[in-house]
Structure 1
Amino acid sequence: MEGLVSRLQRSWKCAGDVYLLGATNSGKSTLFNTLLRSDYCKSRAPDIIDRATVSSWPGTTLNLLKFPIINPTCDRIFRRQERLKEEAAKTEDQLSSEEKKYLNQLKKQGYLVGRVGRTFKQQKSSAEIDFDPDKLSYSLDEDPRDEDPSDPPKRFEEREEFIHNEVKDARWCFDTPGIVKEDCVLNLLTEKEVKLVLPSHAIVPRTFILKPGMVLFLAALGRIDYLEGEKPAWFSVLASNLLPVHVTTLGNADTVYEKHAAQEFLKVPMGGEERMKEFPPLVPQDISLKGIGTNEAVADIKLSSAGWVAVTAHAEEELLLRAYTPKGTALVVREPPLLPYISAIRGARIPGTPAYRTKKPPSFVENLGTTGSR
């Protein structure tokens, strides 16, 4: 995030405002809130701007929220780089008790954490206390005797606002309502199912080794068949940790789906036979890939908004796969993959299964200074 703020500040010379655009539940509001509390935003703005709503249900950002972007002058950039260097020099033992508490909270939600700092903070003013005489008087149609004496005294709270000079030439960062995709699997799910499909914590990649003739299920929302190939290949699943992954043989796959769809074994959808009567069937799409090495994925198979599977295969190895998603939803082959070296974090093989343990990356980010000063 600190690196993103630095890159955004370097693009200041590009005229115009900044808009966060994308599909529903792609993380725009979370990004907006983080930028609002960062050096990208004017120092006084976080106390004035409403934070964006973060929800698992699509379409919750209904208003066009915005905050004014700070002008990254040479002095501000220098001060920011100095702060990032200081942050990078810190170890976890040198953090304040408040910073440690915040990091511990993050660790409960993810396996790779850091913090976005703030170089330019609003200075506390020591101005004289002002009062509005109108607030101390009664209007013509108001009688203080009508008030219930047991009610607590009314407080007049006035919302803080920007002054004209603060925003007259400002550039703004906007959070926009998400684009609702017609071919998105979330449109088929209930609210309870959406909460299982959309990750609420950091995703832990799960890697499996499959031989030709084996099948991988991601809940009952996606299926990948390994039809043809000479050697085993690795399939790394990046999806909500609450969605189960099951590997079976091609001969048993149809039986597994018919027996366990909408049941606890495959989890989503849920609701048994009645739910499956209205849920669209899985439809196939054949995919041909050629491996580029055992340490680098060749492509991602994106199973609509349920997640994606990165495929890693031996160099020059030709694979024929068949992927399934519910009818009416999008299945996309992404080349190059988003995380090409994702299979490198696989640990030891779990005995008796096609699954690998996942290595845990370091819990503290220590390169903020180098990122910010590039």
Structure 2
Amino acid sequence: MRYLLSLLLICWQTAATAQWYETQGHAYVTQGNKENARSLAIENALKKALLVAGASVSSVQQVVNGLLTQDEVNIRATGNVNAFEIVNETYQGNMLSVTVRADIIPQSRQCFSADYRKSLLLTKSHLSHREQANIGSIYKIDSALIKRLANKIQQQGSYLAPKLSVKSSNEFSRYNNSLDIEKIKHISMSLGDMTDSQYVMFSEIDDVSFALEPNNGWQFWQEDEFERHFKLNVHIYNANNGELVFQKQYQNSAPWTFTKRARVDVNSNTFWQSQYGAVLDQTINQVITDIDDNMMCQPTRAKIVDVQGNQIRFNLGERHGVKLGDKFSLLHVKNFTSDKGKSYAGFNVSPFNVKVVQVSNASAVAQTEDGKILDSIQLDDLVVRH
């Protein structure tokens, strides 16, 4: 099978030396579809190679009802893949492992905002139909999924600095169902303010139900094995103004290999190494790819938490990529409310520019280079890359 790599490059190419990266990708064979599993495993391996080379990847497979309809891998990256070859391909039960060697030329970043990692708060997911979690007693999937997502973003994400809040639920789903945009804005800004986060992610697990027909009904000596569905909705809001910046739905399914009476620990390796857990893991990986690619060019706006003379402190630091000598412009927040009660974000650009003179893990101190007093700057005003 021949694979076409379509590279969508936003920035111009720079002279660089190509390097070979050898990585291994994995995928489960579901419903006997080895070609689809092979395609997913190759995608997985190429993503790893590009990410190791410093790329941002958005890979899309066109699949209809489990059948590969277009033999093409689309990669959006800051690296150029000259060529790749499949080194090895092995099966272990339903698991397919493919080793790929790729020739990659690294390139410069795609946008200015990519210089800093955005602080993203991940909130507890909402399990829309709790009765669907009865089989397996997987009620804690709402927090387990987000914990795993946060850990993977920490390890794999290129443009995000995650924070986790799964001890309590929030009202997002209720407001979202009633289309109460203003209350969603309020809760996003409130959570961002409480946790010093630039962006807030809400999610809804809308489906963990079972298919009506068993996969192995003809094997009368075995217990029936059913496909279990999984549907996840992801929403990300700007915590400075409450505006929606990312929204996407993910849908998949896989065989539920546990018995009907088994109580399954969704935080255990047993669950995540099962076929259903592996498909959830693949979904998580796709979520990371999508939000990393989307958030890469979102503006990095830090909040000013202290003003003293010609100095300010703001809530970006080393963990976000801020360095000594970085320069920032200042924005004075000027939100307003329309006659119909809708709130809108507004900013006045300050004439002041500041330069970073101190950096800690989560914050930085910057000052005006000419020593002028920042008399018009207030707490909760913003800094942006100059």
Whose strand proportion is higher, 1 or 2? 2
In terms of Rg, which structure is larger? Answer: 1
TM-score over 0.5 for the pair: no
Q: TM-score, normalised by structure 1?
A: 0.22
